[in-house]
Amino acid sequence: MSPEQIKELLQAQIADAEVDVNVDGSHVNLVVVSPAFEGLSPVKKQQLVYAVLQEQIASGTIHAVNMKTYTPEQWGKRA
Domain chopping of the chain, boundaries: 3-77
Sequential pLDDT tens for the chain (79 residues): 899 999 999 999 999 999 999 998 888 999 999 999 999 999 999 999 999 999 999 999 899 999 999 999 999 998 6
pTM of the model: 0.92
Angle at 55 between CA 27 and CA 11, to 5 degrees: 75
The fold of the 3-77 domain, in CATH, is: GMP Synthetase; Chain A, domain 3 (3.30.300)
Residues in a beta bridge with 24: 27
How confident is the model at residue 76, as a pLDDT? 93
Which phi and psi angles does 40 have, rounded to 5°? Answer: -95, 145
Separation CA 26–CA 40 (nearest Å): 28
How confident is the model at residue 78, as a pLDDT? 80
Residues in a beta bridge with 65: 28
How confident is the model at residue 25, as a pLDDT? 84
- What sign results for the dihedral spanned by CA atoms 9, 71, 69, 41? negative
